[in-house]
């Protein structure tokens, strides 16, 4: 009886231990699941979280600064290419006579850099920022005179343009210096007509003045 009584408590302790073990295991599983969930949440990318206005504003400023830097680099690259072309064209302008003031070579650093040859013709870079475009403004719109990625080809086109403008200037001066015979006769005829018109006006005024004096004298007689 005592042995059975002693065995009873032993079985009760084992039952208690076996009942505590599943509870401890369940607690450990819950703790491990919570840790894994927290680690997974921490491993999520920042983009998946709702961004605050301050973070979004900082990101927008960084992107804007990067775009501005790219634009500035492209602008400087355009200016550098046009300056290279300017150096290649300068020897041509040294050959132009000093009395000719039609041309004015220079690079303008505006929003769209340009290499001006004169008041109506300039060189600008194409959309890919590599092609030189030599254009002229006419009464009918803008005309492309040459387009190439090679500087010598643009220099040749500018040389041809300068020669044409110089020939046009010489023709204009020749027309002014040697007027046609018909123009001379027409000018002489106009001067003669103006002289006759002036004499007629003078004689008419003289006649009116004499008539006025005679009329006044007759009215004043007693």
Domain that holds residue 137: 73-177
112 and 142 inside one domain: yes
Tally of CB atoms within 10 A around 149: 12
152 and 191 inside one domain: no
pTM above the 0.85 mark? no
What percentage of the chain has pLDDT greater than the value 70?
Answer: 64
What percentage of the chain has pLDDT greater than the value 90?
Answer: 25
170 and 186 inside one domain: no
90 and 158 inside one domain: yes
- Alpha-carbon distance of 142 to 161, in angstroms, equals 15
Tally of CB atoms within 10 A around 131: 15
213 and 149 inside one domain: no
161 and 112 inside one domain: yes
Give the number of C-alpha atoms closer than 13 A to the C-alpha of residue 138, restricted to the C-beta side. 8
- Residue 162 within a domain: yes
| DSSP code per residue over the chain | -HHHHHHHHHHHHHHHHHHHHHHHHHHHHHHHHHHHHHHHHHHS-GGGSPPPHHHHHHHHHHHHHHHHHHHHHHHHHHHHHHHHHHHHHHHHHHTS-TT--SEEEEEE-SSS-EEEEESSEEEEE-TTSS-EEEEEEETTEEEEEEEES-HHHHHHHHHHHHHHHHHHHHHHHHHHHS--HHHHHHHHHHHHHHHHHHHHHHHHHHHHHHHHHHHHHHHH--
100 and 170 inside one domain: yes
Instruction: Look at residue 7 in the predicted model and tell me its pLDDT.
Output: 44
193 and 110 inside one domain: no
- Pairing between β-strand 141-148 and β-strand 132-138 as defined by DSSP bridges: antiparallel
pLDDT in tens, 133-160: 999 998 889 999 999 999 999 999 999 9
- Alpha-carbon distance of 140 to 44, in angstroms, equals 62
Tally of CB atoms within 10 A around 21: 10
pLDDT in tens, 61-100: 667 655 655 666 788 888 889 999 999 999 999 998 888 8
Give the number of C-alpha atoms closer than 13 A to the C-alpha of residue 14, restricted to the C-beta side. 5
Residue where a domain stops, chosen among 159, 177, 195: 177
116 and 185 inside one domain: no
145 and 222 inside one domain: no
Q: Are 135 and 143 in contact (CB under 8 A)?
A: yes
Total number of domains constituting the chain:
2
């Amino acid at each position: 009886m005592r042995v059975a009584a002693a065995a009873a408590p032993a079985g009760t302790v084992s039952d208690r231990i076996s009942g505590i073990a599943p509870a401890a295991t369940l607690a450990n599983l819950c703790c491990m699941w919570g840790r894994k969930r927290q680690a997974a949440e921490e491993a999520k990318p920042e983009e998946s979280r709702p961004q605050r206005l301050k973070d979004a504003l900082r990101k927008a400023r960084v992107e804007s600064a990067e775009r501005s830097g790219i634009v500035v680099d492209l602008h400087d690259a355009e200016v550098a290419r046009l300056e290279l072309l300017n150096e290649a064209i300068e020897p041509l302008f040294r050959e132009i006579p000093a009395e000719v003031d039609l041309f004015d070579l220079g690079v303008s650093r505006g929003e769209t850099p340009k290499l001006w040859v004169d008041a109506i013709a300039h060189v600008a870079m194409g959309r890919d920022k590599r092609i030189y475009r030599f254009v002229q403004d006419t009464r009918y719109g803008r005309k492309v005179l040459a387009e190439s990625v090679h500087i010598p080809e643009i220099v040749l086109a500018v040389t041809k343009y300068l020669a044409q403008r110089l020939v046009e200037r010489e023709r204009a001066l020749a027309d002014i210096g040697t007027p046609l015979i018909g123009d001379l006769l027409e000018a002489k005829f106009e001067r003669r007509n103006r002289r006759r018109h002036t004499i007629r006006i003078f004689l008419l005024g003289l006649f009116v003045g004499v008539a006025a004096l005679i009329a006044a004298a007759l009215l004043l007689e007693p």
